[in-house]
Structure 1
Amino acid sequence: MSDLKRRVARKPKASDREAESPPFGRSELQHIIAGLMDGVLLVEPDQRIAWANSAALAMHGVRRVEDLGRTVDEYRSRFELRYRNRHKLPTGAYPLDRLVGGESFSQIVVEVGRPGQEAQWTHQIRSLVLTDAGGTPNCLVLIINDVTEQYLAESRFEASFNANPAPGLICRLADTHYIKVNHGFLALTGFKADDLLGKSLHAIDVLAPLHGRDAAVELFHAGKTIPQTEAWLPVRGGGHRRVLLAGQPIDVDDTACMLFTFADLQPAHDAQQALAQSERRFATAFRLAPVPMLVLEGPDLLVVDSNESFSRTTGHPRSAASGRPVHELALWDDDTGRLVAQALLLGEHLGSVEIDLQYRDRRTRAHLLAAERVVVDEKACLLVVLHDIGDRKRTENDLVSAIEAVLRDTRWFGQRVMEKLAELPGHETDRAGQAADQSLSEREREILGSIAQGHTDARIAGDRAISRSTVRNHVTAIFRKIGVCTRSAAVVWAREHGYGAKMTATPRSSRKS
């Protein structure tokens, strides 16, 4: 028998009780504790429940002491106590049993409810033994604190923490051990819960790769907020993942902890790396391209960059061209400059425009110009590509001159040549030709008639008081609409559809039936 039981079993003499009586009795003591917020339950050494204050009654959902039960056995039959893990307390493990049995305890947490029903309250219980002046127990006290709301809040936090898709990890400050982890963190890192729970911050250090780790560790041990910082988070298998880390001090089960939250930055990091790699590949291809290329920016069409082929072709060194408005290089005429500026402003594709490209030494040579808007260093720019067609133009002009010479001497021979050219593959049907003819503007018809008569671009420009560049643009548009690639094929098409002679009559495809 324990010392407390022996003291309870010994009955003091009446003379001793009179000599050792306190300055106030039990009724005064009950009056003092009746209004306390903590529940107080008084138990006699013979297991009778003697008294309970209103707080203790409310914590059991009753109004009278008798409803608790007259004895400890009756209390056990009316109320079912469970541990936090939902396991029922066996007989003899109830706090009242342990109190009467002479055991002293504190901070026992149990769930309380009616037998066979869900628990309604969560109690935090401790014991107190009142003795007389001689040390003999004369009253056993059970002090109850209702922590139902606290544990409900913790349950809600637990559910919210586990359901939150944002990765989270909770570390206890006292021993730096991880005590909780949610599914978001496990999915992000590939770890299993057993890999983390119970492990210390030193074993799996989420702060180890952090820039400025010493300051973060100091805030952690001080229980202060760790501001958002980019970090490399360890993942299963030994790698790391780019994240945005933050730490928030919280209490879990009355224990100071740190809640680490993470935002996954790896997709954005990978995208940046891919973009940087793509830009490096573009820069290499741009630099080594065999045709002249340059990048223009802004309303003034500043030269951002040019490649080696551009420098070799035009004579403008890269260092001298960069940063200057393209019009200062005098590469092309004003009409072409307006087309290039419009392509950059409106984001339009500019393809196969025939221009006279002027070199640094003032020589000119026929080129095809193509342009496309691109993004360089997060800025809208225009990539301009130039293709030398000087040799092709010279060949075409030589062919036209030869045909003109033959036509001047022998008309039948010229007609025969035209007939043979008309038999070449790719010749359009009459119906398609009529549709193409309808799509030509009045100015394009005039120029096509001049081409059919064998006139050069220079003569056409002089006859109509327009620039050669404008003539070339019209010629390019005419070729595209009638579906030919060479000037000689355009001559054949024009003569077949009634153009030529002196253009005094309306072409046959345009006449009224």
Structure 2
Amino acid sequence: MNQMAPDRVALQSQVNRRQLQTIIAGLGEGIILIDPQDGIVWANESALALHNVSELLELGVSAADYRERFELKYRNNHVLGADQYPVDRLQAGEEFRDVIVELGRTSSGATEDRRRVLQFRGFALPDAKGNPESYVLVIENVTEKISAEDRFERTFAANPAPAIICRLSDLRYVRVNAGFLAMASYSRDDLIGRSAYEFDVLENAEKKDVALASLRDGRTIPQMESTVRLPDGKTKAVIVAGQPIEIGEEKCMLFTFIDMEPRKHMEDALRQSEERFARSFRLTPIPTMLSTRDGLRILDVNDAFKTVLGYEPAEVIGRTSAELPIWVDKAARKHLESEIQASGSLRKVEVQLRTPHDEVLDCLISAETVSIQDEECVLTVIQDITERKRSEEELIAAIEAVMQDTSWFSRTIIEKLALLRRPGSSGKPEASLSDLTPRELEVLGLMCQGLTNAAIVKKLGVTQNTVRNHIARIYVKIDVHDRAGAVVWARERGFTGNHKPGPVRPGPR
């Protein structure tokens, strides 16, 4: 009777083991059963496949056989010693979980070696008395998972955007990249392991309540302005956002940042530049307008505009150039507008402008395109030359009053007086009498005396075509279009045809 009891226990144990094998045979995880005396006694198909073998014997019948066939390395590339192999640890009675190693065949094993990253868990199956009856080694292929984590780690470390990762279970920082360390001037040891309460990246967030509620619930934290406290006690303006992620099996929050300091410096510099421009614009003693390039709508005028032209800012701001009441000649206004639209600028164009009291001012207008807050604008400067022009005209009149005979007067001075009468009349250099040939001067002189083409032909004894050709060349050289224009041009220069123009006499130095 006593002899039969141990046999019955052994039989029951075999039945239980067969039932266990039946249950776990089809599991996706690899399962290896290890007997304290007999070693490796069974493995399911998943376990064989993870070791790249097809039969149980290929795993080895003992821990020593297993070590001879398979090489295990930690992820730091350190090879496991004999007492560190999961099989050896189980047989020594040690239970463990989450041992992650890289598995490969040893040089004495098969030539084909597909290295994999495996996660081992080991525990004992107790008998009725609580003693270990056998051991179970559970194996999971985590190659893809570990590869993904490695890729994430490399990407996270290399990403220039500042970032830090907080574990949600205890709100402690577990990762920080170089971008964040450079932005905030901390070392890695300053932050890893610290609590989010000690170093609060949401301390001054514009929507702190929303951000903290999202952090507690593991939800996305939308972008918002905040500050990061620096080691010296100062703060740095940032835009922060949070994205929930998992690292391993731990839920975390990935905080990313945009450093606002460069933009703030740029905005401050731009604001100071605009303030300087505004002060200069307001205090400039010359009438100045600022308008849009598109449509030339007036945005602002300075104080000198009101002083010189007599219009209040409210009378002109908001109106287009065409709507301003200042233009004496609409054609001149259209010419200015077309020049600005074509080239974006113009220089010292003479126009006449009207004040509210119907006083006509002679002015020079210059304009240049400028960019203000990313909008193209036109800065127009108006120079009042009324008094200067009146003084020039009075000087010319006085000289002409005392000059009845110009035969003794330097031809150079006569031509300069002609230029004073017509300032800026042409963009081309003014022609002079010296630009004409002796024959052309002779023909011009006869034209000034009132002779017709036929009379000039008779006077000079040349053909009709020859006279016409001389007159055409004279028109081109002095930039006129008819006989009257040529006569006026000659008389403005003291040339009447009654005497030949003498050589230019240099004036006194």
The TM-score bracket by the shorter chain reads 0.7 to 0.9
Q: Of the candidates 53, 57, 68, which is equivalent to residue 48 of structure 2?
A: 57
Within 5 Å, give how 1:324-473 maps onto structure 2.
324-332=319-327, 333-408=329-404, 410-413=405-408, 415-416=409-410, 418-419=411-412, 452=418
RMSD: 3.3
The question of 1:150 aligning with 2:145 is answered yes
Distance change >3 Å, CA 13–CA 112, structure 1 → 2: farther
The structural deviation recorded for 1:157 is 1.8
Distance change >3 Å, CA 47–CA 277, structure 1 → 2: farther
Q: Distance in 1 between matches of 2:312 and 2:221?
A: 53
Tell me, what secondary structure is at the counterpart of 2:349?
strand
Map of 1:204 onto structure 2: 199
Q: Distance in 2 between matches of 1:121 and 1:55?
A: 14
Tell me, what secondary structure is at the counterpart of 1:76?
helix
Q: Distance in 1 between matches of 2:114 and 2:75?
A: 10
Q: Distance in 1 between matches of 2:191 and 2:130?
A: 51
The structural deviation recorded for 1:161 is 2.2
Q: Deviations over 1:342-401 (max 9, x none)?
A: 244335211101122222221122221111222344433321101122232122212221
Q: Of the candidates 15, 20, 24, which is equivalent to residue 5 of structure 2?
A: 15
One-letter code of the match for 2:432? A
Q: Which runs of 5+ in 2 are unaligned?
A: 451-470, 479-509
Map of 2:462 onto structure 1: none
Map of 1:277 onto structure 2: 272
Query: Under a length normalisation based on structure 2, what TM-score does the superposition of the two structures give?
Result: 0.77
Q: Deviations over 1:55-80 (max 9, x none)?
A: 11112122222221211122223222
Distance change >3 Å, CA 298–CA 352, structure 1 → 2: closer
Q: Distance in 1 between matches of 2:387 and 2:212?
A: 72
Tell me, what secondary structure is at the counterpart of 1:411?
coil
Q: Distance in 1 between matches of 2:201 and 2:433?
A: 81
Distance change >3 Å, CA 156–CA 235, structure 1 → 2: same
One-letter code of the match for 2:383? H
Do 1:452 and 1:495's aligned partners in 2 also have CA atoms closer than 8 Å? Answer: no
Do 1:228 and 1:245's aligned partners in 2 also have CA atoms closer than 8 Å? Answer: yes
The structural deviation recorded for 1:288 is 0.3
The question of 1:108 aligning with 2:110 is answered no
Q: Of the candidates 152, 172, 176, which is equivalent to residue 171 of structure 2?
A: 176
Within 5 Å, give how 1:61-72 maps onto structure 2.
61-72=52-63
* Matched residues, number: 442
Q: Deviations over 1:189-243 (max 9, x none)?
A: 4433333322332333322232102211211121111223344445565555554
Q: Distance in 2 between matches of 1:379 and 1:344?
A: 16
Distance change >3 Å, CA 13–CA 85, structure 1 → 2: farther
Q: Of the candidates 79, 89, 96, which is equivalent to residue 80 of structure 2?
A: 89
Query: Under a length normalisation based on structure 1, what TM-score does the superposition of the two structures give?
Result: 0.76
Map of 2:432 onto structure 1: 494
Tell me, what secondary structure is at the counterpart of 1:394?
helix
Do 2:230 and 2:236's aligned partners in 1 also have CA atoms closer than 8 Å? Answer: yes
The question of 1:315 aligning with 2:253 is answered no
Q: For structure 1, which segment, 152-161 or 337-346, has the greater mean C-alpha deviation from structure 2 after superposition? A: 337-346
The structural deviation recorded for 1:304 is 1.6
Q: Distance in 2 between matches of 1:337 and 1:508?
A: 29
The question of 1:46 aligning with 2:37 is answered yes
Q: Distance in 1 between matches of 2:96 and 2:191?
A: 33
Q: Distance in 2 between matches of 1:237 and 1:385?
A: 50
Q: Distance in 2 between matches of 1:13 and 1:128?
A: 31
Q: Distance in 2 between matches of 1:242 and 1:161?
A: 22
Q: Distance in 2 between matches of 1:366 and 1:453?
A: 17
Q: For structure 1, which segment, 114-123 or 72-81, has the greater mean C-alpha deviation from structure 2 after superposition? A: 114-123
Do 1:21 and 1:132's aligned partners in 2 also have CA atoms closer than 8 Å? Answer: no
Map of 2:428 onto structure 1: 481
Do 1:497 and 1:509's aligned partners in 2 also have CA atoms closer than 8 Å? Answer: no
Do 1:342 and 1:348's aligned partners in 2 also have CA atoms closer than 8 Å? Answer: no
Distance change >3 Å, CA 324–CA 27, structure 1 → 2: closer
Tell me, what secondary structure is at the counterpart of 1:165?
coil
The structural deviation recorded for 1:338 is 0.8
Distance change >3 Å, CA 218–CA 344, structure 1 → 2: farther
Tell me, what secondary structure is at the counterpart of 1:278?
helix
One-letter code of the match for 1:494? S
Distance change >3 Å, CA 89–CA 47, structure 1 → 2: farther
Q: Distance in 1 between matches of 2:419 and 2:266?
A: 59
Q: Distance in 2 between matches of 1:477 and 1:83?
A: 91
Tell me, what secondary structure is at the counterpart of 1:248?
strand
Do 2:340 and 2:346's aligned partners in 1 also have CA atoms closer than 8 Å? Answer: no
Do 2:69 and 2:106's aligned partners in 1 also have CA atoms closer than 8 Å? Answer: yes
Distance change >3 Å, CA 229–CA 140, structure 1 → 2: same
Do 1:220 and 1:226's aligned partners in 2 also have CA atoms closer than 8 Å? Answer: yes
Tell me, what secondary structure is at the counterpart of 1:402?
helix
Distance change >3 Å, CA 363–CA 510, structure 1 → 2: closer
Q: Distance in 1 between matches of 2:336 and 2:92?
A: 98
Map of 1:466 onto structure 2: none
Q: Distance in 2 between matches of 1:242 and 1:510?
A: 70
Do 2:60 and 2:69's aligned partners in 1 also have CA atoms closer than 8 Å? Answer: yes
Do 2:293 and 2:369's aligned partners in 1 also have CA atoms closer than 8 Å? Answer: no
Q: For structure 1, which segment, 267-276 or 164-173, has the greater mean C-alpha deviation from structure 2 after superposition? A: 267-276
Q: For structure 1, which segment, 60-69 or 235-244, has the greater mean C-alpha deviation from structure 2 after superposition? A: 235-244
Do 2:293 and 2:378's aligned partners in 1 also have CA atoms closer than 8 Å? Answer: no
Q: Distance in 2 between matches of 1:350 and 1:128?
A: 90
Map of 1:98 onto structure 2: 89
Within 5 Å, give how 1:257-296 maps onto structure 2.
257-296=252-291
Q: Deviations over 1:228-262 (max 9, x none)?
A: 33444455655555544322111101110112233
Tell me, what secondary structure is at the counterpart of 1:481?
coil
Do 2:207 and 2:224's aligned partners in 1 also have CA atoms closer than 8 Å? Answer: no
Distance change >3 Å, CA 159–CA 119, structure 1 → 2: farther
